[in-house]
Amino acid sequence: MRTDYGQGDVQGADRRDARLVEATTFRLSVLLNYLTRLFPHTIGRDYDLSINEWRVVVTLAAWPGLSGAQLSDITGIDKMTVSRSARRLEETGRIERRQDPANRRRDQWSLTKEGWSQYDQLARMELDREEELLGAESPLMQPDVVSHTDALIDRMRRAAG
């Protein structure tokens, strides 16, 4: 992480505490910000998707038939935002809902034919982008890092309740 910003000639610059900036959680949030920064100008614009709508589509491709609560749990997006994203995706014909036969009060969401068509295009683009950004030999792409990341996500999900 870049650290050459200096302290400048600012009142109060006689004290410095970088503990939080050097914390893994802060660094992960910065990484996520950079990974998503271009989204509105690329995929978002080209496919008329918000970042949260994209997350819903990607998640439903992996697990068709999820409820809104399950989408929220998997993605870490709050339930209201998942609901808004799902409604907009439904309005644009990318996902559809069906009543859960086991629980009539719950809807299950799945990609439509149009949703799958867009997903296939998005998947190719995103996997190419990942390869370009990280490369197959990147330490971030190694199985142990991926499993540690999954474990961290699970831990954060439990902490969030």
Secondary structure, 3-state, 116-144: HHHHHHHHHHHHHHHHHHHCCCCHHHCHH
pLDDT per residue of the chain (161 residues) written in tens, 0 to 9 = 666 655 555 666 677 788 888 888 888 888 888 888 888 888 889 899 999 999 999 999 999 999 999 999 999 999 999 999 999 999 999 999 999 899 999 999 999 999 999 999 999 988 888 788 777 676 666 677 778 788 888 888 888 87
What's the pLDDT score for residue 112?
98
CA–CA separation, 89 and 66 (whole Å): 14
Q: Are 48 and 94 in contact (CB under 8 A)?
A: no
What's the pLDDT score for residue 41?
85
Instruction: Count CB neighbours of 156 within 10 A.
Output: 12
Q: Are 79 and 69 in contact (CB under 8 A)?
A: yes
What's the pLDDT score for residue 3?
61
CA–CA separation, 58 and 55 (whole Å): 5
Residue 110's nearest CA partner among 92, 91, 96 is 96
CATH class for the region spanning 40-136: mainly alpha
What's the pLDDT score for residue 75?
95
What's the pLDDT score for residue 149?
81
CA–CA separation, 69 and 131 (whole Å): 32
What's the pLDDT score for residue 36?
86
CA–CA separation, 66 and 51 (whole Å): 19
What's the pLDDT score for residue 42?
86
The CA dihedral of 90, 96, 101, 103, to the nearest 10 degrees, is: -30
